[in-house]
Amino acid sequence: MKEFENEILQAYLPLRKGEDLSNVAKAIAIVHGEFEMIHPFREGNGRIGRLLADLIALQTGYPPLIFDVEGKPRNKNLYFDAMKEVFVNKNYDPLTDVIEKAMKIGIEKAREGSLP
């Protein structure tokens, strides 16, 4: 946890309100991916990690993320494949893409007034 705090959280957070969406998506992907790797429990880590992602988005003035990027079950596969890239290769690009799409869906839902 200390390493996560010192090397990840302090490096990528806090972000400024109004920060560029792609910069926020990349920061969320790194923080979320690294958090998921160290979370000690089998159950609940995805929910807590996504809550952390939402908090970062809200901090920067964006609405919560909507992870229904391509509909289920395809959505789950995209997310899991992206997380596998983080775990195996430390490649955050696929997760950044998923996060950015989830942010854009959140923005659209907020504009429609239909956030869950």
Q: Which residues of the chain have pLDDT under 50?
A: none
pLDDT of residue 26: 93
Q: What is the pLDDT of residue 107?
A: 93
Q: Which of 72, 85, 83, 94 is nearest to 32 (CA)?
A: 83
- What pLDDT shows up at residue 19? 83
Q: Which CATH superfamily is domain 2-112 in?
A: Fido-like domain (1.10.3290.10)
User: What is the per-residue pLDDT for 88?
Assistant: 93
CA separation for the pair 98, 78 (Å, rounded): 7
